[in-house]
Homo-oligomer: A and B are copies of this chain.
Amino acid sequence: MRREGKRTFFYEEGAWIRSRACMAGQKESEGPLGNTFDQILEDDLLGQKSWEFAESEMLRRTVELCASKADMSSGDIGALLAGDLNAQIISAGFAARQLGVPFLGLYGACSTMTEALVVGAALVSAGYLKNAMCAASSHFCTAERQFRAPLEMGGQRPPSAQWTATASGAVLLDEAKTGGMRVTHGTVGRVIDLKIKDANHMGAAMAPAVADTICAHFEDTGRCDRDYDLIVTGDLGIIGRDLLMELLVRRGVPMDDKRLMDCGASLFSPEQDAHAGGSGCGCIASVLAGHVLSRMERGELGRMLAIGSGALLSLVSSQQGESIPSIAYAAAIERSQRA
């Protein structure tokens, strides 16, 4: 049976993590996870004419690096499942143009990486695809002008603001047991909106969606927090992480604080002036593809749950006075006995 409960997919044949790659910008490289990225960008533009195309170039390089780590060329990619924060996901679309691979464009804002894993694992495990390249990116300079204000304005950022990571990550899922790690379950999110309207308070907007997906995942699978060595959220930031803990207590499923790692709250150090932490599609994408899965590969984690959350606002919806609907997707990943 490939489904559990109402919203959870079970990948019975396995979707194995064959390779992974991540890149990040200068500021991210100066944070606590700075040495976990495969490559650090030399500058914000990467030789491109705009930040948008720099982001696209970063994503393309990340996908190619991930493929090369699996001794593959881009022509061997079954399909690229990817998206980003830009209107009409141009970073992913233009990267797919350069790569020339079959492409499924997704939009889940900062949850896009886990949305890609949930869908990609299904397509691989059931045999529709031999492999699926799941990837996402974000860029501080493209996101600020997309959702908030022109960077040139130099506006003051409130303490609740998160810093969109300039980063990208890719995970190649394969039907063959090529590594020791596999995606076992995926839980699809629902759009939740508790009427937060402040685009500088994303953690608060997204925490309810994360709580909803965690509860659904536990209910569908019969698991609880103790079944996971690590629960990785992205990107609630410091404020959103606290709110999530409180929401879970209220729903009667309190979580062990030590088991929870938020990528946004982990990406920058307090001295880096990133306020409530990191955010952006590339945040959980790069931290999962790098730091977290490296820990699992080293045997430090047996089973983990990755939950990406996205705020489904746009500049237009904000300008029209709407609140911020959010969504979260969960992917359970585990390490099997060494092959």
Contacts and interface: CB of A to CB of B under 8 A. Distances in A.
Residue of A109, A128, A316, A325 with most partner-chain B CB within 10 A: A128
A248 interface: no
A105 B189 CA distance: 10
Interface stretch (A115-123, A153-161, A283-291, A296-304): A115-123
Interface of A: 1-3, 6-7, 9, 49-50, 52-53, 79, 83, 85-90, 93-94, 96-97, 100-109, 115, 118-119, 122-123, 126-130, 146, 188-193, 312-317, 320-322, 325, 327
8 contacts: A49-B321, A50-B320, A53-B320, A86-B314, A103-B188, A103-B189, A103-B327, A126-B126
Contacts of A190: 96, 100-103
B102 A188 contact: yes
A321 B50 CA distance: 11
Contact of A128 (B9, B49, B192): B9
The count of identical subunits is 2
A2 B104 contact: no
Given A130-B3, A320-B49, A119 B97 contact: no
A87 B90 contact: no
The 10 closest A-B pairs by CB, nearest first: A87-B87, A126-B126, A93-B312, A88-B314, A102-B188, A2-B127, A97-B191, A96-B191, A97-B325, A105-B107
Contact of A107 (B101, B106, B188, B322): B106
Interface core residue of A79, A88, A105 (most chain B CB under 10 Å) = A88
A238 to B, nearest CB: 25
A122 B115 contact: no
B317 A94 contact: yes
Contacts of A100: 190-191
Given A97-B193, A127-B3, A317-B94, A88 B109 contact: yes
A188 B100 CA distance: 12
A90 B317 contact: yes
